[in-house]
Amino acid sequence: MLTRQLLRYRLDGDRLLPRWLKPTPAVLQLAEDLLAFWKGGIGRMRGELDEGESAILHGSRQMLVGRGLSKVLTDACDFGDPASAEALRARALAASFARLRQPLASSDEHRAAVAAELALAPEALADGLYADLPDRAVLAAVPAWNATTLIARCNLALCQGLLLGASELRVHLRDRERGIQRRLLRALARRRLCAEVASADGGGLYLTVSGPAAVLDQRSAYGMQLALWLPALACATQWSAQVQVVPPRGVHAARMELDQSLGLPGDLALLDWVPPELAAWLEQLPAKLPGWTAVDPEPIVLPGGQVVLPDLALADGQRTVAVELFHRWHLVQLRTRLDQLRAGLLPGLIIGVDRGLSRLAEARPLLDDPLIATRGFQFSDLPSARALAEALAR
């Protein structure tokens, strides 16, 4: 994403208007020049490429735009690690400090004497002493983008940079396809974002996305998560969003509006991102729970439009069972869900209750509910295979 200095926007009353990069001939030319320059630089060192690139940037009338394009492009480039120079450094410094006990008249003489001791030319010593700095990293690969793609990615990076100051994102997802809805909701949960979800006319969803502490104005803790979720949202084909953003050079929140017409590129890797601890748990599941595999949970729409998104779904080839987990702060939701189970609204759902929640006095009457005995289990952090197996068997 773009850094603060590279964010281009203006304020119009309570609205924040990003200065979208348009594919004008000048901008397209600049993007093409940068792409050609970096693609032609494979095998060369970063430092010399940065220096060479500055000629393109300084030659352009839009230096800030050029820097933004360059940032997005080089962030996506692959640089190899420069070879370590630590061994040479250790030998050279040992020799240098031995000679510094009786220093020579000039640093040139000193360097020449140290180089001679190492059987190197003074220039070779100076060049090799810190040859493992990042500017010596060799460019290995450049993304296969064209100028239009680079411009679109720069606009996405602009948006993400602005979202770092966001407190809440209101989304109208018009895509009716359950698959994308499910993946977007799952991506939200995996980023520890909170969402109020309601069904919209025509099969879409309304989402109000924020972090747990957003009501307390601790927005920036979630700004990064919102920024990382945006490329997932952009995978949808029909959506619009309103964001309250405190701009980097401002004090008061302003409204930013986004939708699919901006052509922001989606990122499937971020749509299907799995946190490392969950990935490890899922990897162990088939061995610990033979016959069952984890599948994507389907959102369940209740009468009245409320949407329930289970945390997990397990399938054994014949049936699919959804699993919803209730943590210490889900007392109210657990009470509601038990009422809904009792009313027969969620036939394929079993529920896990965090032991921290079980210990609450208010939760005890709920745990005595017969539904817990037939449809529930307890867990800490993540459900154990044994508890799941027992619940599934019931």
Partner 1 sequence: MISLRFQDGTLLLDGLPEDGGPLAGLCVWDARVRLHRAAALHYAAILRRLHGKAEYRDEARAYAEVVLAEREPRPMRHYQRAALEAWEGAQRRGVVVLPTGAGKSYVALRAMLACRRSALVLAPTIDLVVQWATDLEARLGRPVGQYGGGEKRLDDITVATYDSGILFMPWHGNRFGLIIFDEVHHLPSGVTSQTASMCIAPFRLGLTATPERSDGQEGRLDDLVGPIVHRTRIDELEGEFLASYQAEVVEVAMDPDEAASYTAHRAQYLTFLRASGVQLSGPTGWQDFLAAAGRDPRGRAALRAWREQKRLARASRAKLRAVWELLREHGGERALIFTDDNDTAYEIGRQMVLPVMTHHTRPAERRAMLAAFRDGSWPVLVTSKVLNEGVDVPEASVGIIVSGSGSVREHVQRLGRILRPQQGKVAVLYELVSAGTAEGFTSERRRSHAAFGENDWRDEAPPAPRPPPPARPC
Would you count residue 22 as binding partner 1 (CB under 8 A)?
no
Closer of 41 and 66 to partner 1 (Cβ): 66
Would you count residue 134 as binding partner 1 (CB under 8 A)?
yes
Work out the number of other CB atoms within 10 angstroms of the CB of residue 342.
12
User: Least distance from C-beta 109 to partner 1, angstroms?
Assistant: 10
Would you count residue 5 as binding partner 1 (CB under 8 A)?
yes
C-alpha closest to that of 346 among 356, 327, 363, 333: 333
Work out the number of other CB atoms within 10 angstroms of the CB of residue 144.
8
Determine the size of the site formed for partner 1 (CB under 8 A).
Answer: 57
Work out the number of other CB atoms within 10 angstroms of the CB of residue 288.
13
Residue listed under structure tokens 């619940």:
391
Task: Considering only residues 281 through 320, tell me which ones interact with partner 1, judged by CB under 8 A.
Answer: none
Q: What is the CA angle 308-310-313, rounded to 5?
A: 140
Let me know: does 21 contact 150? Beta carbons within 8 Å: no
User: Least distance from C-beta 317 to partner 1, angstroms?
Assistant: 37
Segment near partner 1 (CB under 8 A); pick from 10-18, 217-225, 266-274, 301-309: 217-225
Q: Pattern 51-90, binding to partner 1, x per CB under 8 A?
A: -------xxxxxxxx--------------------x--x-
Would you count residue 360 as binding partner 1 (CB under 8 A)?
yes
Query: CA end-to-end span of the chain, whole Å?
Result: 48
Residue 390's Cβ-count burial label (10 Å; 0-12, 13-18, 19+) is exposed
The binder of partner 1 chosen from 25, 43, 87, 107 (CB under 8 A): 107
Closer of 39 and 335 to partner 1 (Cβ): 335
Segment near partner 1 (CB under 8 A); pick from 16-24, 31-39, 151-159, 188-196: 188-196
Let me know: does 294 contact 313? Beta carbons within 8 Å: yes
Which secondary structure element, helix H or strand E, spans residue 354, and what is its range? strand 349-354
Let me know: does 260 contact 254? Beta carbons within 8 Å: no
Let me know: does 185 contact 272? Beta carbons within 8 Å: no
Closer of 26 and 295 to partner 1 (Cβ): 26
Would you count residue 3 as binding partner 1 (CB under 8 A)?
no
Closer of 125 and 233 to partner 1 (Cβ): 125
The whole-angstrom separation of Cα 243 and Cα 14 is 12
Would you count residue 111 as binding partner 1 (CB under 8 A)?
yes
Would you count residue 249 as binding partner 1 (CB under 8 A)?
yes
By CB under 8 A, name the binding residues for partner 1. 5, 58-65, 86, 89, 92-97, 100-103, 106-108, 110-111, 114, 125-127, 129-130, 133-134, 192, 194, 196, 210-213, 215-216, 218, 220-221, 249, 327-333, 360-362
